[in-house]
Amino acid sequence: MFVYGLTDSELIARACEGEERAFEVLFQRYHAAVYRLLLGITNNHDDAQELTQEVFLRAYQELPRLQNRENLGAWLRRTATNLAIDKLRRNKRVRFDSLDAPLTTETGEEVEWQIEDPAGDVLAAVQSSELSEAVQRALGQLSEIHRSVVVLHYMEGLPVEEVAQMLGIPVGTVKSRLARARLALRILLKDFVEVEGENE
């Protein structure tokens, strides 16, 4: 039976009636996006894979009770984000750097925080695989609370208000965390970021 052209709502209805192919299509439709989101937050391939499976297991179990069936993507993002943050909090081998503490370079030199230049966003400059890898490494040095807002807002393209709703925090807190994360990323990615007024 041809199911690829169906809406999420139609696929969910069929999946709830026991049509396995319908859920497979939903999985194929959202798997890559969920994995990418989880990789961004956890910074770990194995954790992202494991949590992706958990997200879709929960989705399968929750489909009959899902209120807004046309908004499955948002439900999956919220579930993935919550699972990732819970995992990071339990995972003692993950190292978190406080954005309130001085940042230390590879040579051990302490770098003071600088006032953010709102023109030019570091994440918007990701154009090469080398820079993408550097961004991923830099994200890995942020705490889970800062990494999650960066991934949701900049990489997933969610508005600040939706990020706040997903994480259950005020909009102002999201904006504050984004500002601190941008400052940290600017320093961590200084070799890739062109500073205004600085000669080569």
Does some domain include residue 158?
yes
pTM above 0.75, yes or no: no
Q: Is the pLDDT of residue 2 over 90?
A: no
Does some domain include residue 195?
no
Does some domain include residue 200?
no
Does some domain include residue 162?
yes
Question: pLDDT tens digit string along 128-174?
Answer: 566 677 777 888 888 888 888 998 998 888 899 999 988 889 999 99
For 84, residues 6+ apart whose C-beta sits below 8 A from its C-beta are 37, 38, 41, 42, 47, 51, 144, 148
Domain around 177: 103-188
Q: Which residue has the higher pLDDT, 191 or 50?
A: 50
